[in-house]
Structure 1
Amino acid sequence: MRTWKSPALVAALAAITLITAACGADSQTDEPAAVTPSGPAQSGGDALALVSGTPKSNKAQAGTGDWAYPNGGKEEPAKREKSQKWTSLRATSAGDLDPVVVNGAGFTLYRFDDDDAKPSKSNCAGECAETWPPVIVKPGAKVFVAGVKKAKIGFLKRDDGTLQITIGGWPIYRFSKDSRPGDTKGQGVKDTWYAVMPDGKRAGADQDPEVIELPEGSEPPADPELPADPELPTEPSDAPEQGGDRSVTLFEDADFAESGPSQGISGDGCQNVPTPGVASSLTVQGTLRMWSKKDCKGEVREVDGDVRDLSEIDFDDTVVSVRLA
């Protein structure tokens, strides 16, 4: 047997992947943004509110949402109602995996290869869901987002009627055997469970193109013809609509870490940072310009969306003033 990879076929598969991601995503609006299901159609009352930043920077109530399980473990019926009030999706690193998505308590989130992404469907229930608790929220719940594109986030209605969060169309879960923030004990379990990346792909796993096996001595088939100008859906923009309220959250530590202080800034025009020169990461919806001196003067940087580590653009502990462009 010999292996042959058709360039055109690989391109076609890539195009199909783009269509899947775009169709499973929802465009963003002013905060809080309403999210419609990434799976089967649901009623508008099931929409979720996406909010930039972390639970701490948004002053989430203690003991609720992801904080209901500060030590991980299995879901507990007594905590179920409080735990479904909100969840957090934050891009960071965990162990040797970078990037991965963690929840508000810092626990790694996973995806299951036996699930479906288009349409979104979970195939983990019963004992499986006890070992791998689905990330469940109530209708209208808040999802705090840092480092994950809001267009990638959706939800599906499980067979029991609950709402499960999806990233890139893939349902997401915790692993009950992860006992500390940053644990990745579920990575690679049964070759079907992997930590989820901010785009919904498997962390630490090869994403190889499809390989076609041909009998020895046979000729490869002609490349399939692709449309000269395929009409692919455009990835929804992360930029908010004009005229909406916008804000930026500045974190003193990298990776949007809540171990250190954070500060929020909103409003039109140039804004001087209340505590200048300490930011190491930030979350923002759309474009932000920032300066090294007061009144939007000095050295300047422009970013589009969240920045996990400002040192990567040589602006760590430098932000003194900002303008929400």
Structure 2
Amino acid sequence: MFSRISVLAVPLSALLLAACSSTGSMHGSASTPVKATDGSLVGPNGHTLYTFSKDAVGSGSSACYGQCATNWPPLPVAESAKPIGDFNIIIRDDNSRQWAYKGQPLYYFVKDGKPGDKTGDGVGGAWKIARP
């Protein structure tokens, strides 16, 4: 009896582990570095992501450069990454690539010192937490 249970337990355990490993990301894909945590989107470092009201949704461009981009660093895109689902890639004026969610470019806030900080929400009336 125990040998039958252990034979079935190994494949079942592997299946459960595989299912659990993909639930943390928005689409279960390593090519999209964004996760949903506590009702907000976070980057691979666990820091909160934001959207900028001056970015025209779906335009494929960012309105945040210079000092703005210093304070609100864009979420970068790995060279091998491809758009997936609601996540697309925009090309910035300096030819760097930035992730966007539903057509809105995604940014970090430099004053968020640790994962879970959300100090950028509402700054200047233009910045909002990115939500799934």
TM range (shorter): 0.7 to 0.9
With normalisation by structure 1, the TM-score equals: 0.31
1:16-69 deviations in Å (ceiling 9; x for gaps): xxxxxxxxxxxxxxxxxxxxxxxxxxxxxxxxxxxx5558xx9x8xxxxxxxxx
Judged with a 3 Å threshold, the aligned counterparts in structure 2 of structure 1 residues 122 and 116 are, in CA distance, closer, same or farther, namely: same
Partner of 2:100: 166
Partner of 1:104: 44
1:197 and 2:131 are equivalent in the alignment:
yes
User: Equivalent residue of 1:194, what SS?
Assistant: strand
Question: What is the rounded CA distance, in whole Å, between the counterparts of 1:114 and 1:122 in structure 2?
Answer: 8
User: Equivalent residue of 2:85, what SS?
Assistant: helix
Partner of 2:57: 117
The alpha-carbon deviation at position 140 of structure 1 amounts to 1.6
Q: Greater CA radius of gyration, 1 or 2?
A: 1
The alpha-carbon deviation at position 129 of structure 1 amounts to 0.5
Partner of 2:37: 92
Return the structure number with greater helix share: 2
Question: Which residue type is aligned with residue 117 of structure 1?
Answer: V
Judged with a 3 Å threshold, the aligned counterparts in structure 2 of structure 1 residues 131 and 115 are, in CA distance, closer, same or farther, namely: same
The alpha-carbon deviation at position 88 of structure 1 amounts to 1.7
How do 1:229-268 and structure 2 match up within 5 A? Answer: none
How do 1:26-41 and structure 2 match up within 5 A? Answer: none
Q: State the percentage of identical aligned residues.
A: 38
The alpha-carbon deviation at position 106 of structure 1 amounts to 1.1
* Count of equivalent residues: 108
Return the structure number with greater strand share: 1
Question: What is the rounded CA distance, in whole Å, between the counterparts of 1:189 and 1:91 in structure 2?
Answer: 21
The alpha-carbon deviation at position 138 of structure 1 amounts to 3.3
Question: Which residue type is aligned with residue 163 of structure 1?
Answer: R
Question: What is the rounded CA distance, in whole Å, between the counterparts of 1:111 and 1:135 in structure 2?
Answer: 11
Equivalent residues of 1:118, 1:169 under 8 A apart: yes
Equivalent residues of 1:108, 1:182 under 8 A apart: yes
Question: What is the rounded CA distance, in whole Å, between the counterparts of 1:180 and 1:88 in structure 2?
Answer: 17
Question: What is the rounded CA distance, in whole Å, between the counterparts of 1:141 and 1:105 in structure 2?
Answer: 17
1:160-187 deviations in Å (ceiling 9; x for gaps): 0011100010000000100011000000
1:230-266 deviations in Å (ceiling 9; x for gaps): xxxxxxxxxxxxxxxxxxxxxxxxxxxxxxxxxxxxx
Q: Where in structure 1 do 4 or more consecutive aligned residues deviate above 4 Å?
A: 52-55
The alpha-carbon deviation at position 105 of structure 1 amounts to 1.7
Partner of 1:175: 109
Question: What is the rounded CA distance, in whole Å, between the counterparts of 1:119 and 1:129 in structure 2?
Answer: 18
Equivalent residues of 2:24, 2:36 under 8 A apart: no
User: Equivalent residue of 1:120, what SS?
Assistant: coil
5+ residue gaps, structure 1, are: 1-51, 61-85, 94-98, 144-149, 199-325
The alpha-carbon deviation at position 153 of structure 1 amounts to 0.7
Question: Which residue type is aligned with residue 119 of structure 1?
Answer: S
